[in-house]
Structure 1
Amino acid sequence: MRSLSEPCLIWFTRGQGRITINGVTRGYGPNNAIFIPPGVMHGFEVGPQTHGVIVYFGRGTDLTLPHSTHHLRIRESHIQSELTSTIDAVHRELLSDRPGSERAARHYLGLLGVWLERQVELTPAEPPRLNASKRLVARYTALLERDFRSGHGVADFAAELGVTPTHLTRVCRQSCGRGASELLQERRLYEARRLLSETRAPIKQIAETLGFASAAYFARAFQHKTGKTPSAFRRGK
């Protein structure tokens, strides 16, 4: 489970799997376009036959993009081709050393925003009907995304939501196949991997930043999940 500080568009062109957004899991297949705004917790599974691309629009972008998540199943071949060719054009310009290539890439990203607007308007995706349990899970994941660094446990989050930890765990497992503590631990450890890869912050400081009781407990949790100690992960071994 992760969250990005920028909007992204995932375009699956082959294969199938499951994607979890805001604690609700749905299937995806070929020619599925999924737009995810910044700050929305998500994660997805990929198999050996899965193929696709992710377009990142940039942190703080001023492009016109949707404000909510959209899962679009694109059935018309000409609309599929339009999306693929625009993404290819962005990639081509980013690799180019021709004058104005960055500006051209930005304009193509703007066209992706137009493509999304048209598909949401003309062929709106069927949103999953959220029952009370799924609404609770969506509230939990939003709260978790806000406070996963706080050191709070599932009991603290459950108390804030006005339910018992047992009930929260049960509805999370029903909604996305993961317990409440698994969602919390996955989110914290994804952030740990990011910090270990992208910063030189000491491991003890990373553990404190993410709310672990001690560096030793952080190291055990990290190794249990990844098979590597934080030091080995940072060294790429």
Structure 2
Amino acid sequence: MDERRTTPQLDLPLHRLQVPRPHLLPFAIGSFDTIGPLSRAGFPHRHAFFEIVYVTGGAGAHVVDLVHRPIRPPQLCVVAPGQVHYWTEPEGLTGQVVLFNEDFLLGHPQDLAALRTLAARPVLPLGDRARAVGALLADMEHEYEVRPAGYPGVLRASLHILIVRALRARAPGETGAAPGRRTELASAFTRLIADPGGVQLSVASCAQELGVSTGHLQTLVKQATGRTPGRLIRQQQTLEAKRLLAGTSLTIRQVSREAGFGDPAYFCRFFRRETGMTPGQFRAGVGGNHHDPRITSIAAAPGGP
């Protein structure tokens, strides 16, 4: 259901959504087997689309943006465009995989912000919500396979319900209510900088892209997220640098450029200030595992980040 493409300058695969009748329905749902072997790919790669994975059985681990989580079914995982992920030693994975792009969410724009929130936590344990989530996904898969009259609307509504239930699993009482202006702007800003090319943007260029003043962007993003736009850009630059150091063979100079820094020396100082390690030390610590060994034990703990 998805196609592997390699970004020439990064040698980090980018998967683009390939589904039947993409001009009608940029959406697919199925099992790991029906979606295809790339649904459990064992190499670091990015998506140009959203993926929601509901794991009901199996063993192994899932690594999303350097965070390593053992598979403990039943659990839900949301992977957003631009994130780097892969599976390690997957055995007997069962469940459902949902693939879709932003165009599929036009009727529920607030779901974009919710999905970014969910993607910030690699795994959502479902507990007693698993039965309801499983039933909802089974109904969505049936709609997708049978395609009765009005099925696109049913799928969009069901996806919205799935996202709301996932938010409840993350933080009880969070229902995905309709956003205000500041939430919409903050969501648009985070989507903008989450794109691999977005790390090279400044606060001023982001404001221009979004059609607001720099001061207005500063105020609304700080109110919505508790962090300044500049801080969010720096965090995104750090994450992108980690992705490239862990998942590619680019030189430090090349990583510096791709992460939005013109001066490699400044990049090295920046990276050390943000992480406590030089880029070389980080890459050496990651080795061939493609995840940050310092956060494995924290991430594996229940309720971890």
**TM-score band (shorter)?**
0.5 to 0.7
1:177 corresponds to 2:230: no
> Which residue number in structure 2 is paired with residue 7 of structure 1?
51
Measure the CA separation in 2 of the matches of 1:153 and 1:145: 13
Q: What do residues 163-194 of structure 1 show as CA deviations (whole Å, max 9, x unaligned)?
A: 22222122111111111011111111111111
Kept in 1: contact 2:256–2:264 (CA 8 A): yes
Supply the distance in 2 between the matched residues of 1:121 and 1:165 (Cα, whole angstroms). 32
Deviations 1:25-57 (A, max 9, x none): xxxxxxxx766464178xxxxxxxxxxxxxx9x
Question: Retained in 1: the 8 A contact 2:140–2:158?
Answer: no
* Aligned partner (choices 214, 228, 234) of residue 165 of structure 1: 214
- Specify which structure has the higher proportion of strand: 2
1:1-237 alignment runs, 5 A limit: 5=47, 7-9=51-53, 36=78, 38-39=80-81, 64-65=98-99, 67-68=104-105, 69=111, 77=128, 79-80=129-130, 114=141, 120=159, 125=164, 126-146=175-195, 147-149=197-199, 151-236=200-285
Distance 1:122 1:207 in 2: 41
Change (3 A) 1:37 1:114: farther
Letter aligned with residue 181 of structure 1: G
- Structure 1 residue 9 displacement after superposition: 4.1
Give the number of aligned pairs.
168
**TM-score (ref. length: structure 1):** 0.55
Residue 233 of structure 2 aligns to a residue whose secondary structure is: helix
Paired position in structure 2 for 1:47 = none
TM-superposed deviation, 1:130 = 1.0
Q: Does structure 2 conserve the Cα–Cα contact (< 8 Å) formed by 1:40 and 1:142? A: no
SS at match of 1:142: helix
After TM superposition, give the deviation of residue 213 of structure 1 in Å: 2.0
Distance 1:139 1:195, change over 3 A: same
| Cα distance in 2, alignment partners of residues 8 and 124 from structure 1 | 9
Look up the match of 1:49. none
Structure 2 vs 1, CA of residues 155 and 206 (structure 1 numbering), >3 Å: closer, same or farther?
same
Is the CA contact 1:64–1:113 (under 8 Å) kept in the aligned structure 2?
Answer: no
CA contact (8 A) 2:51 2:97 kept: no
C-alpha distance in 2 between matches for 1:113 and 1:166? 43
Share of identical aligned residues, percent?
24
CA shift, 1:219, in A, is 0.8
- TM-score, with normalisation over the residues of structure 2? 0.44
Q: Is the 8 A contact 1:140 1:161 kept in 2?
A: yes
Rounded Cα–Cα distance in structure 2 between residues aligned with 1:173 and 1:134:
10
Alpha-carbon distance change, 119 to 164 in structure 1, aligned in 2, over 3 angstroms: closer
Q: Mark the CA change 1:200 to 1:35 in structure 2 (over 3 Å): closer, same or farther.
A: closer
SS in 2 for 1:7: strand
Structure 1 gap ranges (5+): 12-32, 42-55, 57-61, 87-109
Paired residues of 1:222 and 1:229 also in contact (CA < 8 A):
yes
Do the aligned partners of residues 74 and 233 (structure 1) sit closer, same or farther apart at CA in structure 2, a change above 3 Å counting? closer
CA RMSD after TM alignment: 4.2
Classify the secondary structure of the residue corresponding to 1:134: helix
1:10·1:34 contact (CA, 8 Å) conserved in 2? yes
Q: Equivalent residue for 2:32? A: none
What is the one-letter code of the residue matched to 2:81? G
Separation of aligned partners in 2, 1:10 and 1:173: 33
Q: Distance in 2 between matches of 1:204 and 1:65?
A: 35
